[in-house]
Amino acid sequence: MNPVVHSHRLRVRYSETDQMSVVYHTNYLNWFEVGRTEFIRHADLTYRELEEKGVMIPLTDANISYKRPAKYDDEVEIRTHVSEITPIRLTFAYEIVRVADEELLVTGKTMHVFTNTALKPIRLSRTEPEVYAWLEHQHKGGK
């Protein structure tokens, strides 16, 4: 099974770096959020629309592994895919790669739970079956 991978490019801004011109470590988590947001937008859906439907996807856990630093003005690609999905939980996996040389800089995962607006867990497969089916389809590689 090869999940669908969504790619989004960005250029490292000066404000995202430290005194050594290296991307400050917490910015990668922000980039993971960009990857998630653009992944969902790829379904012609936005987080705002999900929230309007009463579905929230709060983060419960995150892990990150730093391989190489990104530096000021590097163009990087955030590669995002669904690595696990159940009716209650969703895990996204990420790779951040420098575009110029395809060097892997960072890998990571974020784990989420589906909730209503009161943050009570829900089964997305019942609440929004079309959205769940789309996410499951992405996880299975579009098969």
Asked if 61 is an active-site residue, the reply is no
Amino acid at 76: V
Catalytic residue among 18, 61, 73, 101: 18
Distances 43 to 4, 58, 64, 88, 92 between C-alpha atoms, Å: 12, 19, 26, 20, 15
* Separation between Cα atoms, residue 101 and residue 82, nearest integer Å: 25
* Residue 46, both tokens: 């936005």
Provide the annotated active-site residues: 18
